[in-house]
Homo-oligomer: A and B are copies of this chain.
Amino acid sequence: MQQYRNDYSEGAAPQILEALARTNLEQTVGYGEDAHCARAAELIRAEVGLDDAYVRFIPGGTAANILAISCLTEEYEGPILAADAHPTIHETGAIEGAGRRLLATADPYGLLTPAGADPIWESWRANGSHTTRPGMIYLSDTSELGHVYTAAEFDALCDWADERELAVYVDGARMASAMTAAGADLDIRHIARRATAFTLGGTKNGMLFGEAMVVNPASPRGARMVERLPYLIKRAGSLMAKGRLMGVQYETAFDPATDDGSGEVLYWQLARHANACALELKRQMTGAGFEPFIQTTGNQQFFWVTPDEGQRLACDFGAELQVQPDPAGAGRVVARFVTSWATDLAGITELGEAARALRG
């Protein structure tokens, strides 16, 4: 049966795989200094509306986070981020391994807010060099628990950071889903205009692997990141010999020729499909009587389930179970379902039937 464990269960979108095959025997220089990477960067700059953006390709999401945070902070600084952001739980101390302290707010759902960040800032103001200095904010869009940031939420964070001369980094492992989510009013050009750096995730959006790191060199810490990133990529063991593999993939995903008439290139089309599947999945699950844990139009959907239901949904459909405090006091857990470019929309009915059977 179709699994909803995550958005990296399959290989690559066919167009992308085909491009890799087509260019396979070209001889290129290594380390991302080839023409494919150059053209991919050029296409990304055009797409995000930032002519002088510095673009590098990083093999994975944790590596991208290590590099962004290392580039945007001093050793004695740290990123302000939500308590359940990815680096706080799922990266085995990778950021601490780079010597940085994470400054986690009490914000729930991985959703960073200025109000959550304030106490951290004030603590530094009170303690100065006896404590870690905030150097940046980190947010992921969509957030760890699926939230799609609104333009107002994002601007409030950027305003807050700007006033304090902090860098803004957006972990875009699921950026494509966030930008194409139903009702979303925050677009990639807006992010590019205000963030110091952000990623355009490939791994979770139809590529074999790869995250495009986009840096705005005109932002205060942006120029420093542009200087630091090439060295730190190599030092972190994240410089691919065959960097061109990522160049070819991004070149394809952002190729204007992939526009299917929708006005969008392949990169967004893949995410739009994932989101459509997610909404259908939500329709099936709520139709069966399952209550959403949060309301989101992104490609992760979360529902309150009993532990027994959870076991069944995990076993049959790859749902991932999480412990969250149940407001109903009923001992329920949260089941996560993730859709992707590869999800078969029609096949979701199977899940719907099973869900209705569980609640039948």
Contacts and interface: CB of A to CB of B under 8 A. Distances in A.
Given A70-B75, A209-B240, A10 B29 contact: no
Interface in A31-48: 31
A247 to B, nearest CB: 12
A26 B5 contact: no
Interface string A1-40: 0110110111110100100110111111111000000000
A114 to B, nearest CB: 18
Nearest to A248: B11
B24 A238 contact: no
A32 to B, nearest CB: 11
Nearest to A90: B130
Contacts of A237: 60, 62-66, 91, 94, 236-238
B25 A234 contact: no
B132 A92 contact: yes
A78 interface: yes
Interface residues on A, range: 35 or more
A115 interface: no
Contacts of A127: 89-90
A28 B133 CA distance: 26
Contacts of A129: 92, 230-231, 233-234
A235 interface: yes
A232 B17 CA distance: 30
A269 interface: no
A51 interface: no
A234 B91 contact: yes
Contacts of A203: 241-242
Given A63-B237, A92-B131, A92-B235, A27 B11 contact: no
Interface of A: 2-3, 5-6, 8-12, 14, 17, 20-21, 23-31, 59-66, 70, 74-76, 78, 89-94, 96-97, 99-101, 122-123, 126-133, 203-204, 208-209, 228, 230-242, 245, 323, 342
Given A5-B27, A62-B234, A236-B236, 5 more contacts: A8-B241, A74-B231, A76-B231, A89-B123, A122-B323
